[in-house]
Amino acid sequence: MKLLVTGAAGFIGFHVIKKVLERGDNVCGVDNINDYYSITLKEARLGILKEYSNLSFEKTDVADKKGMERIFEEYNPEFVIHLAAQAGVRHSLKHPHDYINSNIIGFMNVLEGCRYQKVKHLVFASSSSVYGSNRKLPFSVKDNVDHPISLYAATKKANELMAHSYSHLYNMPITGLRFFSVYGPWGRPDMALYIFTKSINEGKPINVFNHGKMRRSFTYIDDIVQGVLLTLDKIPEPDPNFSHESPTPESSSSPYRLYNIGNDKTVELKYLIELIEKGLGKKAHMNMLPMQPGDIEESWADIDALKKDIGFRPETLIKEGVDSFINWYKEYNGK
């Protein structure tokens, strides 16, 4: 299999690529290695991947039209996993143009590359953030998501619409995955688990929003990787049962599918902090704060469709996953 993966130096991209390299696939990884968070961490991930002879790496921004055209033409991938994006809800409040460049223009370039190279299947990353103002739980891919509450979420909803239009116009097999709170070793420093672990370990106070009453479908990285690769192997076809009179977002008369990928069990933020305290053997000093703009109080993934269609089963318990992250954090940071 010839595979192109964008966001190669990112958290999920690194783990996905490592898995497919280990199974012997040829991979072209693409990343611009921007400074949204630690370049050192990104380069450390890449250093591990570059040990494999079946990896080609391109330092290119997906928003670079000519650069992406060249990569698609030269590498001519059979399959594409598009994970590159400007992430982070709070960052979007101050740097909105980063999201348009990476998430809209960048995705446009990926779609065009897949179109002209006749890629067999494009799997792309959406986000649970698209559920926005929804209060119906658990979040279902059948639900309406027309009320995003952050620009980041709006760009991810736009990606889903762009993907469907290309699937319809060019008969392109495309699957979107709405990720729910992915965590684990080599995770992003801007995510709650990393921030809390670092601060508690250093004896610094942590900001706990919504007074710790947030709930998330925390999903361990190994479970996510398994789900992404199972999805890649399941090439979508037009749904014969799709209703044009009462359409829902997750299916189509085109070769397009949309799934939630996450844990179907939720964890309260306070419990996550307790697990970190136990793992570090240190007590947290908490600043209890109200909700932040753009955040949602609870995310809970309905993954019945992904279970049924590809056999996805998240198996890692939150305690096991947090302990694994803390062990990695101590080793990586030398403390």
Which residues are known to be catalytic?
A: 152
Q: How far apart are CA 31 and CA 55, in angstroms?
A: 13
Three-state SS for 323?
Answer: helix
Instruction: List Cβ<8 Å contacts ≥24 apart for 200-206.
Output: 200/273, 200/276, 200/277, 200/280, 200/282, 200/283, 200/284, 201/280, 201/282, 201/329, 201/335, 203/282, 203/285, 204/285, 205/285, 205/286, 205/287, 206/273, 206/284, 206/285, 206/286, 206/287
Q: What residues have CB less than 8 Å from 205, skipping those under 6 apart?
A: 199, 285, 286, 287
Torsion of CA 278, 282, 288, 293, to 10 degrees: -70
Residue reference for tokens 């619409």: 161
Cross-strand partners of 124: 82, 176
